[in-house]
Every structure is written in C-alpha cells, then in structure tokens.
Structure 1
Amino acid sequence: MGAPDLWIKTLKEKRDEDWDLGELAHTLNSHRPEEKVISYAESHDQALVGDKTLIFRLIDKAMYWHMDKADPDLMVERGIALHKLIRLLTAGLHGGGYLNFMGNEFGHPEWIDFPRQGNNWSFKHARRQWSLRDNGFLKYQWLGEFDAGLMKLIQTVDNPSIHYLTIRQHDHVVSFMRGDLLFIMNFSPDQSWTDYGVPAAAGSYGVILDSDDKQFGGQNRIDNSTRYFTSPQENGHQLQVYLPTRTGIVLQKID
C-alpha cells in the first residue's frame, strides 16, 4: 500500500489515538538506500471530483463555515494540526523528493472537475483559488505558510540517510535525524510531554520549524529561542524538549 492510500485508510478507519506510527513510518521509508523515490501525502487523485482531499477528510463541511481566522473551531483546529503533521512526517522521510498537488498544500476546499459531458462542459471547478490562501483573513494562509517553511527546509536536506529513527507508539511520538536536522513529532491528541528525551547526535540544537508557531495557526507553546543541549545516556545521547499535543518541530544541530 502506498503512502497516500495508507493516510486515507488511517483517517477513515482509526481514531487519532490508534494511529499506527510504526506502519506509517515504515511505509514512508520502505525503499532501498540507493533508490531515489518521490514521497507524497496525497496526489491529484484525491483532488478530482468523486474523491476527498486529506483536509476535507479531516475537517469536512466545517471548512465551509469555520475557516475565518477569527472563528475558533475545535474540528478545524484538529484538522489543521494533523494536516501539518502528515506533511511534515511524509516530507521528512522522503526518499529523494517530495511531491504536492497544486492547492492541496493550503487545503483548497473544492475538488477539480474538468469540462466533460457529465458536467455540461463546465469550467466552474477547473481551477484552484489562490485567493483563499492570499487574502489574509482565512486559515488557508496558515497552511500555505507552513508548506512554504517546510519546502524551504526540505530543500536543505542533502543526506539520504535516516538516523536515530525512534517510534514510541504508546507516547504517539516519532523522531529521526536527516543530516544535521532532528525531526520530532507528537501525534497524541491529548498528551503534551515535558522534558521529553529523544535520541540525537551529541551537540546543541535550535528550532528552525515549529508547526505550533502562531504564523502557522498554532498556539505558540514552544519558545523557539531556546537552545537545546544533549546529555549522555547509557546508549548514546538524548535531547530533552517540550512536545505539545499534535505538534511537530525540526531542530538543527548548531555544534
């Protein structure tokens, strides 16, 4: 099963607390080291009429009524948080490249339907509405800003190897290193972790991407000016961080 199908299956069949992070990480990373593969969370198939994009599966009809930034809504908040985590994990474990279908990165609310006899040759849905992301009043901007930050970060990953891959299903936490970047994600719907230790290369680190950042629609629960230092453990070194619920961070090794 490919990654997009597995993400859909997970959203359709499992509660948030039952997501199998081991299966997800294995699927996203299941290729030989010498092979380059393109990773993606969803493709054009989910955007075509008759199917649902990830954001629509997460938020459903609430996205038509509660996407104003001034309108707090728990379903939308959950959907946006998981939408960012899904993309962060998929892109972070990419095997050579990351693919996104236009508009899906900011949660475009409508499907694509090209002119055909069945829709009376209509052009109504043969488009992407970039204005939803750019008008400054809607939550689509948060997803667009996060994607821009993620793409900027992913372009700096030049090391194909993944190290320190750690999956703690009970805690709903996944962490790994790509080069000098440390990815940490907490998928728990109700548990934040204080001083949470994850394996890492010895040194000091600083946060360079935080899905909980206010500019991405987060709650700003992490102090991104903090410098983190590893401590020696019996089997290596670990870094202790604060991990709020449904939050992903990427730290860069400073020295």
Structure 2
Amino acid sequence: ARRQWNLQEHPDLRYKQLYNFGAAMVQMANDEKIVGSLPAQQLNMDEDNKAVIFERNNLIFAFNFSPTNSVPDYRFKVPVPGKYKIILNSDKGEFGGHDRIDDEMTYPTVALFGEHFLSVYLPSRVAIVLKKV
C-alpha cells in the first residue's frame, strides 16, 4: 500500500491528530521498553461496559470500546499497590479527543478484601496507560 504522508498536513482532515497519537504511542513504547517485555497479563474483561484492562511491563492499559458508555469511578484489580499516573491518554485534544481526563491526577490504589484496586474515570472510546509513581 502507498501511504500518503501529506494527508496529515491537510487542515480539513484529522490525520494530523492520528499522526500525533501514533508518534506518542511509539515514543511511550520505546521509553518503557514494552516490545522486549514479557507478554501482557489480563486484569479485567468487562463485556457489559466494553472495557478491557491488562498489565504489561508494570504499566496498566485500560480501554473503553463503548461508543456511548463513559464509566466514572471504574474499579479494577491491580497486581501492585501504590499511586498511578496517566502517561498516555487518547482523549487529549491534540489526538482528536475531548479532554475529559485530567492527566495531572494521581490514582491511589485501595485495599479491599486483601486485594488492591484502582479506580479511574474511563470515558467512552478512550485508551489510557497508567504507570506506578
């Protein structure tokens, strides 16, 4: 296939935002050495909310595939307790998102029944990556 890299420069199209997200995603993968890490471990599969969460190389990847259902206070089990911070957020305006998530927040885990849980706002059609700080 022939790629048309000039489309990202067209002001009426959203290819620039897609390019920005792709560049940020590759940069994060390189910085966190994801490619050479162990395989991912599934943490949560929620068919009702269309959410998938997994851990790879001490990063938490959370995806909400629902076109309409945003979930405030979405709680899921994590393997390591502590505070987590968003390092990649597909909802940023520069990526074509709606800026519904504050990237400056930290998310502390909560211990329930001997296990550790994290609670985040997971808007519709969003992917976030969290890292323990």
Runs of 4+ with >2 A deviation: 134-138, 161-165
Aligned to 1:147: 22
Tell me whether 1:224 sits opposite 2:99 in the alignment.
Answer: no
Q: Using CA pairs under 8 Å that are at least 6 residues apart, name the structure with larger relative contact order, 1 or 2.
A: 2
Cα deviation 1:140-181 (Å, max 9, x = unaligned): 011111111111122221421323531011111100111221
Cα deviation 1:50-104 (Å, max 9, x = unaligned): xxxxxxxxxxxxxxxxxxxxxxxxxxxxxxxxxxxxxxxxxxxxxxxxxxxxxxx
Query: Do the aligned partners of 2:60 and 2:131 also contact (CA within 8 Å) in 1?
Result: yes
Cα deviation 1:98-120 (Å, max 9, x = unaligned): xxxxxxxxxxxxxx4xxxxxxxx
SS at match of 1:147: helix
Instruction: Provide the rounded CA distance (Å) in 2 between the counterparts of 1:160 and 1:216.
Output: 28
Which residue among 36, 43, 46 is the counterpart of 1:168? 46
Aligned to 1:236: 115
Aligned to 1:198: 76
**Aligned Cα RMSD in Å?**
1.6
Question: Residue 131 and residue 251 in structure 1: after superposition, are their counterparts in 2 closer, same or farther (change >3 A)?
Answer: same
Aligned to 1:130: 5
The structure where strand makes up a greater share of residues is 2
Instruction: Provide the rounded CA distance (Å) in 2 between the counterparts of 1:141 and 1:253.
Output: 30
SS at match of 1:242: strand
Aligned to 1:52: none
Following superposition, the deviation at residue 137 of structure 1 comes to 4.8
Instruction: Give unpaired runs (5+ residues) of structure 2.
Output: none
SS at match of 2:61: strand
Aligned to 1:180: 58
Following superposition, the deviation at residue 128 of structure 1 comes to 2.6
Please give the residue correspondences for 1:39-118 in structure 2 after superposition, counting only pairs within 5 Å.
112=1
Instruction: Give unpaired runs (5+ residues) of structure 1.
Output: 1-111, 113-126
Tell me whether 1:246 sits opposite 2:125 in the alignment.
Answer: yes
SS at match of 2:25: helix
TM-score by length of 1: 0.48
Following superposition, the deviation at residue 225 of structure 1 comes to 0.5
Following superposition, the deviation at residue 233 of structure 1 comes to 1.8
Instruction: Provide the rounded CA distance (Å) in 2 between the counterparts of 1:170 and 1:154.
Output: 29
Instruction: Provide the rounded CA distance (Å) in 2 between the counterparts of 1:136 and 1:199.
Output: 42
Instruction: Provide the rounded CA distance (Å) in 2 between the counterparts of 1:154 and 1:168.
Output: 25
Query: Do the aligned partners of 1:164 and 1:199 also contact (CA within 8 Å) in 2?
Result: no
Q: Which moved more, 1:142-151 or 1:159-168?
A: 159-168
Cα deviation 1:171-227 (Å, max 9, x = unaligned): 111001112210001111111111110111211111111111100000000001001
Q: Which moved more, 1:241-250 or 1:159-168?
A: 159-168
TM-score by length of 2: 0.89
